Structure 1
């Protein structure tokens, strides 16, 4: 295993129980309400359309709340993640919610060899996933390998412009990190995670990459996927820029001022040719 995978997996192993125990992931709501959906999936229900009967895989599924939400919308879901601790939490949540989901421990780039080629009608990737991958073209090829002809890729992600903003500058929106993919990762150290919790992580270091929106689209086109939707949003489902955002009734966070200046997330759909 290369160093970035070891470093990042240690961090996500620490995060998993904190996330499962935080109200931000609403695990008890999943257990108590059979119709409950995660905020991330609920936001995109109008764009997802009818997924009943589709065989889907959620790449980088973490503790599986988005995976479970897609299953509740009628898809037969598989969740894939590199963190065994995350998958242990995902298993517990799915079982106590009486929803059958297959969870598989593997790296994203190994997904085709582990799960099989052209087996899925839907590949789903959610918020905060692509930044952990060093090569967006290899990711797009993996997606294409998983999909059947005509199969759908569905992404909602943090916008690469947002990922390039220095969140520590509170006086202005300042580009502080790469927008385009770089050979070497940007390294961060933070004992906190993005949910409300009284605990901190032991393994504080992460290694991350940004990928420009054009790089993502071009990688998909080169992997024989046709872009069918690209919508940029002025909101994200967490407080990405602390102190400069407010949460709306829809559970989405938006800038307090000048919302027109910064795209915060995007929804993208593409079909395999």
Structure 2
């Protein structure tokens, strides 16, 4: 069987330049306004608190917009991603902005082999990251290796309940995909992407997994992290269910009707316990 990383890397390598060129990622806004923050980070400012001076790493950073946003808030950031094309775009952005963020190419499971262990005050991961990983327990082990004792994990992610829904049904919220982690991946073939672009893609297959909220929390607890905050949100920073959502002034999309029916994203924080 083809390795899932090979399949998924080809998909992301092809899409990274299109994402960087799309107005949806706002690279020109970063250049025009030194105070500009990517909306994903801006949404969580009340939860992030003061990150000035913290040494942080953003796992699965893609083209680096969230990473550089954290840098602009005063954190000393490193971004890590397995896609060489995404890392190239992230480095170009950092150079364009004269931002000191460093970017490292690595599979997330190998992050603790290429980055210094127990050296980070903050491990950050953002929207649409965990679904590319077959084992959330292996990911939690990496987080624990990277964090200093007392260091904090900060996640803003798509809710596992959202990932179960059939986004092609405009009339009903239909559970179609697994909620829990499965041994075999869900295999999708999609010629598009989540930004506005005229690019035509040929690498369209992906292998993905869902991870239940309890599975994520249990994995973190098993690797010595203590949960400090968990907030579920009725919004997402992209139109997750096309045709059924409206965009708010906060750059978040919400269901037009019945928004209390399903959580769309969550923010989780955990601290690595001493010893």
Instruction: Give TM-score, length-normalised by structure 2.
Output: 0.98
1:202 & 1:100 partners in 2: Cα distance?
A: 34
Name the structure 2 match of 1:3: 3
What secondary structure, in the 3-state scheme, does the structure 2 residue paired with 1:157 have? strand
Name the structure 2 match of 1:133: 133
1:65 & 1:201 partners in 2: Cα distance?
A: 22
Name the structure 1 match of 2:205: 205
Q: What's the CA shift string for 1:178-217, capped at 9, x where partnerless?
A: 0000000000000100011111321000000000000000
**Unpaired segments ≥5 residues, structure 1:** none
**Unpaired segments ≥5 residues, structure 2:** none
Residues 24-103 of structure 1 aligned to structure 2 (within 5 Å)? 24-103=24-103
Q: How many residues align?
A: 273
1:145, distance to aligned residue in structure 2 (A): 0.4
2:89 & 2:216 partners in 1: Cα distance?
A: 30
Structure 1 segments (4+ residues) deviating >4 Å: none
Name the structure 1 match of 2:262: 262
1:189 & 1:152 partners in 2: Cα distance?
A: 36
1:168, distance to aligned residue in structure 2 (A): 1.1
CA contact (8 A) 1:193 1:200 kept: no
1:2, distance to aligned residue in structure 2 (A): 6.3
What secondary structure, in the 3-state scheme, does the structure 2 residue paired with 1:161 have? helix
1:119, distance to aligned residue in structure 2 (A): 1.1
Q: What's the CA shift string for 1:148-169, capped at 9, x where partnerless?
A: 0000000000000000001111
Q: What's the CA shift string for 1:73-112, capped at 9, x where partnerless?
A: 0000000000000010000111111111111000101011
Instruction: Give TM-score, length-normalised by structure 1.
Output: 0.99
* 1:20 is the counterpart of 2:20: yes
CA contact (8 A) 1:164 1:179 kept: yes
What RMSD in Å do the two structures reach over aligned CA positions?
0.9
